[in-house]
């Protein structure tokens, strides 16, 4: 059977096996560097490493036969196609073209990770070690800020919020919400590494990253980050319970997860009502417009809805540059914003209803691929379940924030997607 047109350019070159091995090693090394340095790279440095990853994927694909696209990659290609169309019909096409180029660069990283893991799954542990190294360093730098002067953290203490006076850490990323968004997907990955890795040193590394990452996320006092962290870790716990009890009688398989959820809910209730300033931050969620952060988001959401109503099918084109060009025409006075502060709203603004539908299809395929981890052998199972839990954590925070679109966070999401797409049953 003839190869699809999109794949016919792959495998045009026929190098020696030694060349392919060098390409694999070089690709893995660049990706480890990229994932390790996510919280530390400047924007220029990050762009250079991403460009190197894109070139390596292109070269490697020219030198190797094509692979089956798979469901996850198929949905991503559809999203890319929609982004191209919305760019062409954008009221600010040059600004949208910048967003399209950024999307292409991120997808190239996804493609390289998927190809690397499909070729040699053992690279997953090396990539994960790079991610956790960056997370551990970020957590240490952030927690050190607890001993800094209050003035250094004052920019994140909103005087108009009921949470005024709360000290929030932000580490090397400069923003507490961004730090939380970066750390929360690493926590289920670190937990699985603790279970998956065998050496004492490796487990100590994973465990330390997990403990310090949880601590740093808590001290960011990011409400969305907290919810994302809890959603990710709770999902992983439930998935691991379901996997370990898959041979139990059905009634016990149902009762044990329920008991764990009830216990977790009880512990959360105690923390939310008895521990300051956690109680204060939780109370701010219920304050409505009485809290300045809530009020800001509500006003931005209303403006985003107006943007969607004007262009429901084509959107304004991908990327924050296009958003920043159009949003001032809709914003309410004194409520400047860099994004829609909600991933679903952002997708609707940028790519209209077709973009949201395609993203929903991608999410469905992601869930299906992740749940295969319940029956896969142990090494592959851990990677799949951790990736699914990390994505659920990111999605939870993404309901009320768009931190996901920052490269430090988004590239972790692409890593998780590539992990699921590289499974034998998917790839």
Helix (H) or strand (E) holding 180: helix 176-183
How far is it, in rounded angstroms, from Cα 345 to Cα 304?
7
pLDDT at 156 over 70: no
Q: What is the pLDDT of residues 228-280, one digit of tens each?
A: 999 999 899 989 888 887 766 777 666 776 777 777 677 666 655 655 555 55
Give the per-residue pLDDT at 306: 94
What pTM does this model have? 0.91
Q: Is residue 7 part of a domain?
A: no
Q: Is residue 43 part of a domain?
A: yes
Give the per-residue pLDDT at 332: 81
What is the total count of domains within the chain? 1
Angle of helix 278-285 relative to helix 223-244, nearest 10 degrees, comes to 100
Q: Is residue 249 part of a domain?
A: yes
Q: Is residue 117 part of a domain?
A: yes
Q: What is the pLDDT of residues 167-195, one digit of tens each?
A: 789 999 989 999 999 999 999 999 999 98
Average pLDDT taken over every residue of the chain: 86
Task: Please answer whether residues 207 and 216 qualify as being in contact, where contact means their C-beta atoms are separated by less than 8 angstroms.
Answer: no
How far is it, in rounded angstroms, from Cα 175 to Cα 377?
39
In which domain, by residue range, is 293 found?
12-421
Q: Is residue 4 part of a domain?
A: no
Q: What is the pLDDT of residues 98-127, one digit of tens each?
A: 999 999 999 999 999 999 999 999 999 999
Angle of helix 93-119 relative to helix 407-421, nearest 10 degrees, comes to 40
Give the per-residue pLDDT at 168: 84
Q: Is residue 74 part of a domain?
A: yes
Q: Is residue 1 part of a domain?
A: no
* 3-6 contacts, C-beta under 8 A, 24 or more apart: 3/66, 4/69, 6/69, 6/77
Q: Is residue 221 part of a domain?
A: yes
CA angle 90/95/100 to nearest 5° reads 80
């Amino acid at each position: 059977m003839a190869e699809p047109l999109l794949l016919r350019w792959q495998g045009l070159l026929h190098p020696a096996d030694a060349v392919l091995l060098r390409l694999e090693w070089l690709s893995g090394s660049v990706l480890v560097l990229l994932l390790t340095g996510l919280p530390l790279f400047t924007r220029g440095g990050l762009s250079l490493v991403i460009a190197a990853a894109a070139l390596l994927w292109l070269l490697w694909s020219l030198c190797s036969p094509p692979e089956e696209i798979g469901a996850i990659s198929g949905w991503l290609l559809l999203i890319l196609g929609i982004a191209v169309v919305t760019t062409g019909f954008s009221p600010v096409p040059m600004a949208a073209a910048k967003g399209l180029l950024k999307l292409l660069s991120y997808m190239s990283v996804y493609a390289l990770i998927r190809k690397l893991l499909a070729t040699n799954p053992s690279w997953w542990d090396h990539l994960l070690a790079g991610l956790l190294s960056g997370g551990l360093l970020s957590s240490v730098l952030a927690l050190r800020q607890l001993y800094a002067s209050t003035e250094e953290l004052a920019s994140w203490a909103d005087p108009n919020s009921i949470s005024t006076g709360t000290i929030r850490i932000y580490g090397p990323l400069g923003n507490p919400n961004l730090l939380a968004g970066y750390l929360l997907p690493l926590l289920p990955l670190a937990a699985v590494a603790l279970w998956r890795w065998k050496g004492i040193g490796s487990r100590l590394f994973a465990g330390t990253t997990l403990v310090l990452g949880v601590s740093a996320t808590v001290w960011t006092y990011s409400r969305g980050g907290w919810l994302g962290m809890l959603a990710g870790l709770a999902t992983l716990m439930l998935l691991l319970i379901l996997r370990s009890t898959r041979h139990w009688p059905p009634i016990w398989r149902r009762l044990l997860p329920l008991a764990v959820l009830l216990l977790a809910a009880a512990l959360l209730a105690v923390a939310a009502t008895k521990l300051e300033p956690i109680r204060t931050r939780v109370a701010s969620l219920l304050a409505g417009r009485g809290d300045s952060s809530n009020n800001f988001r509500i006003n931005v959401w209303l403006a985003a809805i107006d943007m969607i109503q004007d262009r429901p099918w084509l959107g304004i084109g991908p990327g924050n540059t296009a958003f920043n060009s159009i949003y001032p025409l809709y914003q309410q006075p004194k409520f400047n914003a860099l994004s829609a502060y909600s991933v679903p709203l952002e997708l609707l603004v940028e790519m209209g209803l077709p973009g949201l539908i395609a993203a929903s299809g991608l999410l469905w395929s992601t869930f299906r691929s992740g749940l295969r981890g319940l029956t896969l052998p142990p090494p592959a199972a851990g990677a799949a379940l951790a990736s699914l839990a990390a994505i659920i954590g990111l999605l939870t925070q993404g309901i009320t924030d768009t931190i996901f679109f920052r490269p430090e966070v988004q590239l972790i999401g692409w890593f998780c997607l590539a992990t699921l797409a590289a499974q034998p049953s998917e790839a």
